[in-house]
Amino acid sequence: MFKAILIEKTDGGHDAKVTDLDEARLPEGDVTVRVEYSTVNYKDGLAITGKAPVVRKYPMVPGIDLAGTVEASNNPEWKPGARVVLDGYGIGELHWGGLAQRARVKGDWLVPLPAGLTTRQAMAIGTAGYTAMLSVLALERHGVRPGDGEVLVTGAAGGLGSVAVALLAKLGHRVVASTRRAAEADYLRALGAAEILDAATLSGPGKPLGKERWAGAIDSVGSHTLANVCATTRLHGAVATCGNAQGMDFPATVAPFILRGVTLCGIDSNQAPKKDRLEAWARLARDLDPARLDAMTREIPLAEAIAAAGDIVGGKVRGRLVVNVNH
């Protein structure tokens, strides 16, 4: 038996609760992982609260990432005792996820825990931080370098935004952090932000083109915010889009792309190729300051994850929430 959060469909929608499950109920997979830590990401918040149709199959154990130790394996790549990390591939949506003490998954989905990181640190990074690193890599591939100009991070006080700010600052960029939470200004400066921007200046309808400012940007908000970021990005700059906290719509024009050569990079962390995952995790182990990671992280037990889901959807969570599934 093991403890897990289980989401079940009800007449009124669905119900999430912490319960004891028999290992015989674990889904198919060739590797069983003894989970040590998971997280509460924004998508987990939507799944647990039912605010969006994230869960595609019931009953479901949520949790789109996990870190732990291989307990049993029929996959030649993984031996019992191996330390592993998993992000995406539909866990917590189509396949039972990480908010549980056990997980059975496909070995092809796993990556080794990077040297120098603990499983707790890996989940302090989690899918949010891994997505932030994929976004940084996309900007680098499109030529955005320290010294080229300011780099904007929207939704900066959230989990993804916090890691993005810390990474970009450590790499030498001048980071402007956009947030609607003015009280988080000192927190964001401590992560490395050089300037705090009121998110309201970006969140309303804007012009097709605005004054050029950003050499690059990482946007986790979408909608009008993303449109305005693109409209104010400099000639041949790049914007990585990786979230939709404001909305799925993109009320923009082609002007930034055909008149300034702006590149819009879509970041798909769920199905990213393994080589990109390995590169991202290697860079995270190297480029993310452990002290800054610790400063943005709060640990909670499994029993508190359901309440935390409502908080993260409501925009009340700063930084990263690590779930110790064994407490």
- Assign residue 225 the CATH number of its domain: 3.40.50.720
Half-sphere exposure of 111 (CA within 13 A, CB side): 25
Contact 86, 98 (CB under 8 A): yes
By CB neighbour count within 10 A (0-12 exposed, 13-18 middle, 19+ buried), where does 235 fall? exposed
Same domain? 149 vs 189: yes
What is the average pLDDT score of the chain? Answer: 96
Please report which confidence band the pLDDT of residue 291 belongs to, taking 50, 70 and 90 as the band edges: very high
Same domain? 81 vs 155: no
Q: Is residue 38 part of a domain?
A: yes
Same domain? 317 vs 254: no
Same domain? 101 vs 138: no
Q: Is residue 291 part of a domain?
A: no
Catalogue the E-assigned strands of 11-149.
Answer: 13-21, 31-39, 65-73, 83-87, 102-105, 111-112
Angstrom distance (rounded) from CA 27 to CA 100? 13
Q: What is the pLDDT of residues 230-247, one digit of tens each?
A: 999 999 999 999 999 899
Q: What pTM was estimated for this model as a whole? A: 0.93
Q: Is the N-terminal amide bond of 301 cis, ω within 30° of 0?
A: no
Q: What is the pLDDT of residues 239-271, one digit of tens each?
A: 999 999 899 999 999 999 999 999 999 999 999
Same domain? 58 vs 151: no
CATH assignment at residue 12:
3.90.180.10
Q: Is residue 118 part of a domain?
A: no
Contact 9, 57 (CB under 8 A): no
Looking at the chain, the whole-number percentage of residues with pLDDT higher than 70 is 100
How many domains are there within the chain? 2
Average pLDDT over residues 190-212: 97
- pLDDT value of position 11: 83
Q: Is residue 283 part of a domain?
A: no
Same domain? 144 vs 238: yes
Please report which confidence band the pLDDT of residue 53 belongs to, taking 50, 70 and 90 as the band edges: confident
Same domain? 97 vs 216: no
Q: Is residue 196 part of a domain?
A: yes
Same domain? 148 vs 191: yes
Strand partners, 152: 176, 217
Same domain? 164 vs 195: yes
Contact 224, 204 (CB under 8 A): yes
Continuous H helices in the chain = 42-49, 119-141, 159-170, 185-191, 223-231, 255-259, 274-287, 290-295, 305-313
Q: Is residue 284 part of a domain?
A: no
Q: What is the pLDDT of residues 308-323, one digit of tens each?
A: 999 999 988 888 999 9
Same domain? 315 vs 201: no
Same domain? 131 vs 260: yes
Same domain? 86 vs 143: no
Q: Which position has the token pair 């029993």?
A: 303
Please report which confidence band the pLDDT of residue 13 belongs to, taking 50, 70 and 90 as the band edges: confident
Choosing from 218, 248, 266, the residue where a domain stops is 266
Q: Is residue 99 part of a domain?
A: yes
Q: Which position has the token pair 């992560």?
A: 191
**Is 12 a residue whose pLDDT tops 80?**
no
Q: Is residue 88 part of a domain?
A: yes
Please report which confidence band the pLDDT of residue 14 belongs to, taking 50, 70 and 90 as the band edges: confident
Residue range of the domain that includes 9: 2-113+296-324
**Is 97 a residue whose pLDDT tops 90?**
yes
